[in-house]
Chains A and B, each alone.
Chain A
């Protein structure tokens, strides 16, 4: 186009350097907040799980006095297991809820924004693809574990409180409960378990799901599941072996290097933490390298992919 008399030449840089019109921004913070606005299941599901655990515990309150009385006769290990059960259940419920929400969320988030075309709105703002993908990765790797932890601790505190009220009401002693159930220790064990297994060990799983979500034009669930299944099938047919399947199983159930469990549950006080052994597991570091690769790939894919 030719220049017009109305066009006032105005160089780009001085206006930027003036800086008066710019205000401070926190793109990462707001990107995470917007994820919580959109995906309310991130906090509703763990809350529901906590509610369910409490609800179930309320039903068992009637028999609590009897069970605590019976536990007094048992040896220390079984006593602990009996008394710890409601606390373990609460933690387990919340962890499963968070796991499911994390998986569903990662698989949908980068696919969903392309499907509803809102990606065009997000891309019209000065937020980088990497920022967006990292904020999405922070949901399963930071937000959900923190939520799980704090809600579990709160739930366990309520359970302990209710137990003591119930036991006192029945005239039973609360000494046994008090000596065997250490909320503070449990909360530390839980935090350790969440960070080692649910964050560091499972990170590549979430990374993979985010990458598939950024890549798939349709049916991200199938694209996430079918390639590993195909590898297992081909391996079984061609080599008559199942290394990949074993490796996958190890990926999901692994992370056991982080602790030696004696009581069968991570929160059992008899469990020994072995962070040194965990950190020296090569699988951990390979997994983290893959996670970084998946996240970078997801960010790059988001740049190329338009609405579908």
Chain B
């Protein structure tokens, strides 16, 4: 089943084009990472998907037009837009009461179960909780909702590494079950690399790279090149080159592993390095075409 389907999705704020004709197709059971620099259009894309902003072009989320049917869509969709959106005056118990009162798919016992694993007190107000605890509370509310699509927009912004790790562990172990779909944007790409099934780079309102993580691991390899092999390695047209402690590290796209092994130590490429290679190049050459951009 296709959960999100967009064709020619466009959105402009005055003369600023936030989304410049995006095509997107997310199937059920996928965890898509939407990665891009600040102002690339990630949040605008998510807001369109969540029915928070009008758009041009075609967009269907769970078979519905999100702008026309936000309230209906929210029965099947959950989102954490930013850690700071839980109302600060609200008590934990009030948050549970309210969500239980308005959401037919909210399982209060489940939320209580998640909260029991934390140190959050029922009588505390959101303003009295630490940033990490607010996220835990929000996540407990969201994970107790039997939804089909979960959208996370920078969910771990400003959290320390323990909370960040715990956040993704919870989402993956206690929530994700293959019938759900997750779309996540984040700048902390290292932390999501292992949980994603799909990857998408977005820059200046356009998708500049889209692939599954299997394709990513097959296609992109990083080589720490032996000093005497650097010239030979450059012949193979690396996407990106960087120096670490005097060693040259080259990022290759679509070159066989065996060929690269002769040049040096072959490693798995990181999303972060590919991001720098792709988006960095984009920044220098506005019209550059990048592998995978046609998807």
Contact = CB atoms under 8 A, between A and B. Distances in A.
A25 B102 contact: yes
A12 B106 CA distance: 18
Interface string A34-72: 100110000000000000000000000000000000000
B104 A23 contact: yes
Contacts of B124: none
Nearest to A37: B94
B85 A7 contact: no
Interface residues of B, number: 53
Contact of B81 (A12, A30, A124): A124
A26 B101 contact: yes
A4 interface: yes
A33 B96 CA distance: 13
A124 B87 contact: no
Contacts of B27: 1-4, 7
Contact of B74 (A113, A116, A118, A126): A126
Given A126-B72, A128-B71, A29 B101 contact: yes
Nearest to B73: A126
A18 B272 CA distance: 43
Nearest to A26: B101
Contacts of A38: 87, 89-90
A304 B54 contact: yes
B99 interface: yes
Contact of B197 (A4, A27, A118, A127): A4
A125 B103 contact: yes
Interface in B103-154: 103-106, 138, 146, 148
Most chain B beta-carbon neighbours within 10 Å: one of A3, A4, A33, A126: A126
A17 interface: no
Given A37-B89, A117-B82, A121-B85, A8 B104 contact: no
Interface string A120-133: 11011111110000
B87 A116 contact: yes
A284 to B, nearest CB: 33
Interface in B68-88: 70-72, 74-76, 78-82, 84-88
A123 B70 contact: yes
B54 A4 contact: no
A106 B90 CA distance: 20
Given A37-B89, A38-B89, A118-B85, A4 B63 contact: no
Contact of B102 (A2, A10, A127, A303): A127
Nearest to A307: B85
A65 B208 CA distance: 88
Interface string B188-216: 00000000011000000000001010000
Interface in A95-136: 113, 116-121, 123-129
A30 B102 contact: yes
A21 interface: yes
B1 A12 contact: yes
Contacts of B52: 120, 123, 306
Contacts of B138: 121
A125 to B, nearest CB: 5
A6 interface: yes
Interface residues of A, number: 42
A29 B82 CA distance: 27
Contacts of B197: 1, 4, 6
A37 B90 contact: yes
Contacts of A2: 27, 212
B86 A27 contact: no
B92 interface: no
Contacts of B148: 12
Contact of A1 (B1, B26, B53, B86): B26
A121 B86 contact: yes
A9 B148 CA distance: 12
B102 A125 contact: yes
A1 B30 contact: yes
Given A7-B30, A124-B79, A127-B71, A118 B98 contact: no
A30 B98 contact: yes
Nearest to B71: A128
Contacts of A7: 27-30, 178
Most buried by B among A8, A120, A128, A303: A120
A27 to B, nearest CB: 5
A8 B71 contact: no
A113 to B, nearest CB: 8
Given A11-B1, A116-B87, A116-B88, A30 B71 contact: no
A55 B259 CA distance: 92
A218 B197 CA distance: 42
A10 B30 CA distance: 13
A119 B212 CA distance: 34
25 contacts: A1-B32, A4-B212, A6-B29, A6-B178, A6-B197, A7-B28, A10-B179, A21-B105, A27-B101, A27-B102, A30-B97, A31-B102, A116-B88, A117-B85, A118-B86, A120-B52, A120-B85, A121-B87, A121-B138, A124-B80, A125-B103, A126-B71, A126-B75, A129-B71, A306-B53
Kindly list the 3 A-B residue pairs having the minimum CB-CB distance in the complex, ordered from nearest. A7-B29, A30-B101, A118-B87
Interface of B: 1, 25-30, 32, 47, 50, 52-54, 62-63, 70-72, 74-76, 78-82, 84-91, 94, 97-99, 101-106, 138, 146, 148, 178-179, 197-198, 210, 212
